[in-house]
């Protein structure tokens, strides 16, 4: 029998404030903070965690703990990869 496919894990992180309204379906919410986090995840390779520069600063990571990926998301936010 064929081997089971390996799990593919992606992660995207962004830090910021987001207002929510419990009367609105979460699938219909449009928010810049959520959009940036989704972009970080969408462009990541399997088993990588991508994060925005805001998140990098908020987590107080050292420069050798994350690498600039050389691209920005649609909002102009710099993307980093957790090492």
Span 13-59, pLDDT tens digits: 888 887 777 888 877 777 888 889 888 888 888 888 999 999 999 99
Look up the pTM and report it: 0.72
- Could you tell me the pLDDT band of residue 74, with boundaries at 50, 70 and 90? confident
pLDDT the model gives residue 81? 92
Report the length, in residues, of the chain. 83
| Token code pair at residue 31 | 């928010």
**Coil, helix or strand at residue 33:** helix
Say if residues 77 and 36 touch (Cβ distance below 8 Å). Answer: yes
| Token code pair at residue 56 | 């990098």
Work out the average pLDDT over 55-79. Answer: 90
| Token code pair at residue 19 | 């207002």
């Amino acid at each position: 029998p064929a081997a089971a496919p390996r799990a593919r894990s992606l992660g995207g992180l962004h830090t910021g404030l987001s207002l929510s309204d419990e009367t609105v379906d979460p699938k219909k919410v449009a928010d810049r903070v959520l959009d940036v986090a989704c972009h970080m995840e969408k462009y990541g390779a399997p088993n990588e965690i991508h994060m925005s520069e805001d998140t990098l600063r908020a987590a107080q990571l050292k420069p050798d703990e994350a690498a600039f990926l050389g691209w920005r998301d649609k909002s102009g936010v710099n993307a980093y990869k957790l090492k």
